[in-house]
Structure 1
Amino acid sequence: MPSSFFAQQSQEAQTLKGRIVAQVSQEDMKIIDVGDVSGHSVMLLRAKGLAFLENGEVAEVTATEIIDDINGNATYWGYEILTFEDGSTVANKFEGNSTTSRDGKFVDFEGTFTYTQGTGRFAGIEGSGTHEGRNYASSGAGFYVNFEGTFTLSSN
């Protein structure tokens, strides 16, 4: 779909929906043992990947995240930036909860996000959405996130 799909500067609600596929390199992850109870750690990481939107567009994704984990059950929060081929960007703040599978092969997560800023055709973006996904932590294969957000573009 052409980039004019999102170009309407109106208060009419629009949807941004798709799937992100990303990975975290070892050099982009820091894990610190908290030391209060067994199995409690805090992680700071940067993930990079691609967002495949329902309308056919692809955007580069960078996310910075903090994970507070106790024995495989975690809360997380962070910031994400999608950069589209035309240079437009969408930034959001996200948070959620995750649970590691009993065999430790994957982590399922779900949460919410709020759009915090947009540039180019997303200037003035306001709105929020939900996400859910799976991290294949034990294999190092990365993770996916399905997301859907509703937004408006303010005329300011």
Structure 2
Amino acid sequence: MDQAIEFRQATRQDLDRIVEMLADDVLGSQRERYEQPLPDFYVQAFDAISADPNNELIVACLDGEVVGVQQITFTPYIVRQGGWRATIEGVRTASSVRGRGLGSQMILYAIERAKERGCHLVQLTSDKQREDALRFYGQLGFEATHEGFKLKLT
């Protein structure tokens, strides 16, 4: 991507665009509810994330337009000698800029934030159905070192 990308904390004014991007793929369209007005649970989640000093909802902007989003959560652990980890979640880029290197810039930004916060590890998960994403994260140096499990409660 030749143009300069600006990274910043998301504001509530960005929320509509964020949900739109989250819903703009095969899996996201099944999981998210992009409608007007946005359901209140998105606003409640945004407010909780914004109030938590260990969570950052980061948007990537190109010429003032939000074209990417990711959440970075910083977590202290007892294991590994009490170190901190950063978890990257909800990474999405606008369909208009996919394949132009924005995703790489976003992940590199998250890694730098993790270093700034003193984390010893950066982790993320990706749905096994997202084969392109799995390749992408591998190309950035991430390794599939663990088998993950999830239990849906709703």
TM-score normalised by structure 2 residue count? 0.31
Rg comparison, structure with higher value = 1
TM-score normalised by structure 1 residue count? 0.31
Q: Which has the higher contact order (CA 8 A, sep 6+)?
A: 1
Point out the structure with the larger strand share: 1
